Chain A
């Protein structure tokens, strides 16, 4: 502890180098926390998925629609208790900077299938009985500052034109992993205004018995195999994941980027530590002459590496935690309940400790093993 001022003084020697290395570690740990939280949030969302619900999407990809006529055929499949459907609207609001997800849903069946979307009874009635009514998440209401009864105009991108809705109801999710920033409106309105072009993006099914999920999926996919729109039926958990990961294997991508980032910063930190150690050969010899042991010198270099990497990690991991919690970030509606979990923070600090050891070990050993006589001959 008495030696801490020496460690800090050494770090002040090249302020810019220390600052850049610390910021590099901060950025790397921030990215690590962000990427990993995408994965944990997706998993948390998938965890709370109901085992008694399934999703049906176009076998090619979820961005391709399914015919409206499938609803009766799906409802007729043995084991299917209820059917609902929805559509991704993808419109822009205001200057386009306020992103939120809009879904066209079949109101009655949708709310029946998703009891976790909690709506006050009076508002629910109002929403169900007005063709241009909207049901908006509480979080979104607060974020944009909307009030109940207000008209909201959304500019269509997939379905062009200005679409005006009246907010008639506000929902509160009863589970954390459910998004509270979505904007729901009547599928019929979309269907009619687009001259019946906007067919369902996906269907959701309620099963009478979750244990029949596999056979139900098989029956459905076999039924549509040779149609113009073959289907892919999966559990809600898998469906939730595929909905968010429509652009590929997110988990693999996130982990690969995360590892690459950590590895890159390891090189940067190790290099900075090596440079630092090399410049100080003479000083290490002087400290040893004074009576500092090899072990102490090893510790001093390791402490230096630890201070840099750990303060970077505090900035990066703490920054990620505070930033995402403070802004209520939810991945534009794709990542409801986005959160940097304690496990992610612990893992981040664990990796940082490894980083400290990996970047400090070589210069620390070099300092410990340095022969005073040899070192001074090179200096003088």
Chain B
């Protein structure tokens, strides 16, 4: 059984390693999140917004051309069709409702690809709350369309200029903001990372993905369970959502796809489960890329959303216990897969998602297998990058 302990651990991973300045806010969440999010009125509003505002349920689409090419039955869970273009909004809807319950007036968030930033700016606009987004200076450049969207939605985007100027550093800055603003502010973390209860909180909000998959698969195939679920892992929120209701169904193989960057051992990679060792990042005990001296290593991926040196504690547990299989896909192969999906299915995936698509080439399965790939987001934000490779693929 995969279960969270009372203190927020999955096996030996998780917990809340935070400076005292964060303690009151984190404790308030720990003590209240379950009772608040499972209250009837909360659930009603959450599902109402997911339906009418986000556009859920998202389709489970039988990708016939992709299936023919890879000789299996492949479904795409179309999170790219969510309002704002990725799964991230499932979590921000939940957390903004929680922030309201906690009487918070100001929202902060970190973002890598900008999808979580856009999803946060969107719900803040909808709920009339002030919104500040921290984004690495490098990501502000490579995900420019999402920066424009956040601004259009009324958010303030603050550039994180420390370290590698990517997701890790944006997260550091968001945490420091929360330390400086402990009373009126809620931090909407964007993945299943951070101190307990965030990994569990975000996984529960994202679990709507696998909740829908169960009934959709039953209708389409006569079985609730697929043989494999494939998802990309940055921090791991779309994967956690796609796995959630299958975690204890051992007949379902869970495939976690990480970014190999320019190659796992190239020195420019974000393949945390291979390169990482046990330690603490952003308040959570998990696997992370670090030196023997405990300094966090700057990762690399062409995809801003996977360019993170850690993984959520749930995934560290799933991978180290063998419940999930980790696969890593290079920048180049992700690009290749993005062009392939666009050309044969007419779907332009996000660069993050493209890693999950390519995993079909990297794992073995049977032709009788039913595979669900979580199509976590759409590729509009990545068009600048894609256009650089238009002649190549």
Bound pair (A, B): no
